[in-house]
């Protein structure tokens, strides 16, 4: 070494973490109130994991009680992703969710942890597990406003003939009472000239390998759990949550605010319903939603069903191990 040369300590090489081309993702799905979050937290005691939410309303800030969002303690116990991303009046699309969810899954896998997809929003689950080819169509406020006005004046049925004309497959699959979903399907056709259903085609080689577990309950037991949860919401400040959102200026017609629960409590706060009637309507609407969720999930051939009343973390770990072994043999 020459005179005056200074010995420079070697710079540590950065961690060389290469994510798997197709990371294995475990999905726990099922209808609202079936116990997905509880099972996910139990599983976290056995395997290092991080949760990726597949809930279409958990993305909104300040909407905690009525979305059954994991508590802060639960989020401290297990890292959660795709929660509290946007304000209630900000647009959020399925295509954006897909990009963010797949990115989160890749990052989780690169850390050597298990990505765990948890939720009941069927299209959100499918966008990740099947990697649907989705249109990245931004909202068209003028087009949406025109359709929203038509639905307000003439009821949700007013949009049905147009959807059946341009996209009969979407008209068959979408809940036609969900005006937001119907308008989105019409908006995609308006922007691209292609039916919304034509975009929802799974890729032959999805970027994740998913092991999918579905939770089910007897209908009467599921409905009882839903009713208990809603009673707990009311006791836990749901009315105050909705009142606070309205006081911040978030209108009832926003996609975030027009979902089950928020619309009934908002109607109660406007004096259109008593609290008892609002709760009764909320319970009935949630029962119907859970029934539609089960109908959707039953069409997924790769789901491995477990009885939610007896399902354990050990049972899920067995399915995960078997799925990984099958992938290694393939």
Q: Which domains does the chain have, with CATH numbers?
A: 24-134+200-329 (3.40.50.300), 141-199 (1.10.20.140)
Q: How far apart are CA 311 and CA 272, in angstroms?
A: 42
Q: How far apart are CA 75 and CA 233, in angstroms?
A: 19
Tell me what pLDDT residue 241 has. 99
Distances in Å between the Cα of 178 and the Cα atoms of 52, 162, 185 are 25, 15, 11
Residue 263, helix vs strand vs coil: helix
Which among 137, 253, 295, 132 has a CA at the least distance from the CA of 201? 132
Distances in Å between the Cα of 258 and the Cα atoms of 107, 112, 306 are 33, 39, 32
Question: What does the angle CA 80 – CA 293 – CA 173 come to, to the nearest 5 degrees?
Answer: 120
260 φ/ψ sector (left φ>0, alpha ψ -120 to 50, else beta): beta
At residue 213, φ and ψ (nearest 5 deg) are -120, 130
Would strands 49-53 and 114-119 be described as parallel, antiparallel, or unpaired?
parallel
At residue 88, φ and ψ (nearest 5 deg) are -60, -20
Tell me what pLDDT residue 205 has. 61
DSSP 159: G
Alpha helices in 62-167 (DSSP H): 72-77, 94-110, 122-129, 141-154, 160-166
DSSP 258: T
Split the chain (330 residues) into runs of 10 and give each run's mean pLDDT.
42 43 92 98 98 97 97 96 97 92 96 98 93 81 90 89 93 82 91 86 73 98 99 98 98 89 97 98 97 94 97 98 92
Tell me what pLDDT residue 156 has. 84
| Upper half-sphere CA count for residue 38 (Cβ side, 13 Å) | 10
Q: Are 88 and 56 in contact (CB under 8 A)?
A: no
Tell me what pLDDT residue 14 has. 41
Tell me what pLDDT residue 134 has. 82
Q: How far apart are CA 162 and CA 153, in angstroms?
A: 16
Residue 29, helix vs strand vs coil: strand
Per the listing, tokens 């209630």 go with 88
Tell me what pLDDT residue 175 has. 76
| Upper half-sphere CA count for residue 238 (Cβ side, 13 Å) | 24
Distances in Å between the Cα of 142 and the Cα atoms of 21, 94, 147, 158, 190 are 41, 20, 9, 18, 12
Q: Is this prediction's pTM over 0.75?
A: yes
Longest dimension (CA), the chain: 89
């Amino acid at each position: 070494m020459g005179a005056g040369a200074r010995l420079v300590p070697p710079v540590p090489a950065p961690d060389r973490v290469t994510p798997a081309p197709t990371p294995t993702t475990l999905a726990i799905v099922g209808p609202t109130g079936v116990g997905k979050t509880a099972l996910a937290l139990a599983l976290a005691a056995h395997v290092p994991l991080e949760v990726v939410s597949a809930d279409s309303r958990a993305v909104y800030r300040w909407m905690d009680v009525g979305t059954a969002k994991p508590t802060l303690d639960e989020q401290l116990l297990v890292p959660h992703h795709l929660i509290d991303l946007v304000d209630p009046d900000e647009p959020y699309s399925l295509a954006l969710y897909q990009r963010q969810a797949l990115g989160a899954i890749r990052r989780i896998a690169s850390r050597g942890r298990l990505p765990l997809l948890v939720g009941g929003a069927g299209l959100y689950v499918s966008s990740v597990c099947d990697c649907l080819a989705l249109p990245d169509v931004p909202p068209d406020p003028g087009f949406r406003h025109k359709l929203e006005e038509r639905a307000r004046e003439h009821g949700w049925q007013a949009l049905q003939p147009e959807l059946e004309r341009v996209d009969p497959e979407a008209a068959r699959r979408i809940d036609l009472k969900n005006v937001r979903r119907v308008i989105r399907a019409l908006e995609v056709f308006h922007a691209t000239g292609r039916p919304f259903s034509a975009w929802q085609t799974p890729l032959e080689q999805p970027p994740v390998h998913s092991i999918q577990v579905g939770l089910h309950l007897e209908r009467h037991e599921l409905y009882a759990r839903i009713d208990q949860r809603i009673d707990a919401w009311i006791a836990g400040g749901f009315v105050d949550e909705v009142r606070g959102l309205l006081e911040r200026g978030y209108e009832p017609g926003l996609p975030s605010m027009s979902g089950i629960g928020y619309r009934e409590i908002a109607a109660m706060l406007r004096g259109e319903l008593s609290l008892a009637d609002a709760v009764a309507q909320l319970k009935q609407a949630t029962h119907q939603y859970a029934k539609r969720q089960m109908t959707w999930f039953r069409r997924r051939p790769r789901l491995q069903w477990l009885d939610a009343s007896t399902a354990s973390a050990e049972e899920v770990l067995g399915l995960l191990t078997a799925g990984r072994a099958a992938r290694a043999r393939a």
